[in-house]
Chains A and B, each alone.
Chain A
Amino acid sequence: MGLKAVFNLASKDIRAELRTKHTINFMLLFSGLAVIFFSRIAGNYVAAAPEMGAGLLWLVFLFTGMLGLGRAFVKEKELGTFDGLKLTPMSSEEILAGKAIYNLALMLGIQSIIFPLFIIFFDFPIQGSVALAFGVLTLGNLSFVIVSSALSTLVLNARARELLLPVILLPVLFPVIVTSVSALNRVLVGGEGFLNILGEIKIILAYAVVMSVIAALTFDFALEE
């Protein structure tokens, strides 16, 4: 797999997105609203039981990602540029990796704004290392974007694809989201260090690797029309 080709695609998408900011603005607005709603509805309960916090935070990412990540391919399809992309000698793995990096950039953008916002609005008492918490979130989002980028192409030719995508994505994402929430909780609330959450990190990493391999093996088929 050629890294040059991968970054060429990712930087093309990031550049186009930064110019219009259609997707990122929409995702930020949505995730901000979700934090405000959760804070107003569940803020007091989270103060009493901070273990709820990590789960709520992940729900925000999950719903925001559901709405925004599919755009990476849907946009190409709607603009008719998807064929142009498939006509290039880029391999399907390179296309998937480029799109996944673009999606990861989106999620990291959301994460770096929503995570602090979340801490502020919930007045969240952080016991462990903020850097480690951020790292665990990033790792979770990495798995998230790999699977959502790969599966979002499956619904391109389906009816009601916006409704369909969450329904097929959520069950596949379930194990990695649950593990990420557990790891985040142990850092934020339990104040535990890297070595204590190694079990969770291994599972998230293994998930990312296995899903990447499946994605690489099947993406040729997913790209076909």
Chain B
Amino acid sequence: MRKIYFSLAIAWVLFIYGSYNALLVFPPISSPANPPMEELYRNVFFHVPINASAFLGFTITLGASILYLRTRKLSYDLVASKAAKIAVLFTTFTLLTGMVWAKPAWGTYWNWDPRETTALIMWFVYLGYFALREAMPAGEPRARASAVLGIFGYASGIFTLLSTRIFPSLHPPTLGLELEPKMGMTLGLMITAAIIIFLNLVYLEIRLERLKEKVTRG
């Protein structure tokens, strides 16, 4: 447990240092065509790391779902569901930070851009995942059903990204984003911090659930 607090402390230090850089140190960029963007570009330091960890979370859910079906160990089900829970939370923030960006950048809060669409569909897929879990008593059948849905849902996310690709995208490309070295480093720090925070939250959720089980069993 002490290790967890330690890594969490490091993550928050990174996060605060990164935020300080992103919000106060870096100068406004030049954007004569779209003046609000001069300051709003700072959003990227929050949007991208949160999105990256949410995506990692859904991937953990996929992996744990497959492992559950192969081993039938309920601990994998616990990992899958808790990773999905925090990933849904992070996706909510991804969507919100995305909208804040989209309004000044592209004119509307919502544009059905491929990435936006994929994040939204994943959000709904995993809300459906929790609806299914809510509707079944805890145990093997629930773990099995949600693991299967976890696999279908992930594939659907990939196809959503693929299928919207036939339309032109507004979203700036994820790779090849041209940032000054210092900004790139800060973004890297923020991504690391977000992932550590994400993993810690998942871990704490799992511990909480385990303790709950212990208490109810007496």
Q: Is the CB of A158 within 8 A of B132?
A: yes
- A194, B141: Cα distance in complex, Å: 45
How far, in angstroms, from A200 to B135 measured CA to CA in the complex? 36
Minimum CB–CB distance for B129 against chain A, Å: 7
User: Does B160 interact with chain A (Cβ within 8 Å)?
Assistant: yes
- Among B136, B144, B152, the residue within 8 A (CB) of A224 is B144
Cα A203 to Cα B43 with chains together (Å): 33
Residue from A174, A207, A210, A222 within 8 A of B148 (CB atoms)? A222
Cα–Cα distance between A199 and B148 once the two chains are bound (Å): 29
Complex CA gap A225/B140 in Å reads 9
Bound-state Cα–Cα, A206 to B165, Å: 14
In the assembled complex, the Cα of A207 lies from the Cα of B161 at a distance in Å of 12
Q: Is the CB of A203 within 8 A of B152?
A: no
1/0 contact string of B145-161 vs chain A (CB within 8 Å): 10111011101100110
Contact yes or no, A172 B125, CB < 8 A: yes
| A171: chain B residues within 8 A (beta carbon) | 121, 124-125, 128, 153, 156
Q: Which residue of A lies closest to B154 (CB)?
A: A214
In contact, A147 and B152 (Cβ under 8 angstroms): yes
In the A-B complex, list the 10 residue pairs whose CB atoms are closest, starting with the nearest. Answer: A175-B159, A158-B135, A171-B124, A168-B128, A175-B163, A171-B125, A172-B156, A154-B145, A175-B160, A218-B148
Query: Which residues of A come within 8 Å of B, CB atoms?
Result: 147, 150-151, 154-155, 157-161, 164, 167-176, 178-179, 182, 199-200, 203, 206-207, 210-211, 214, 218, 221-222, 224-225
Other A-B pairs beyond A168-B131, A171-B124, A224-B144, 6, CB < 8 Å: A154-B132, A154-B148, A161-B135, A164-B131, A164-B135, A178-B164
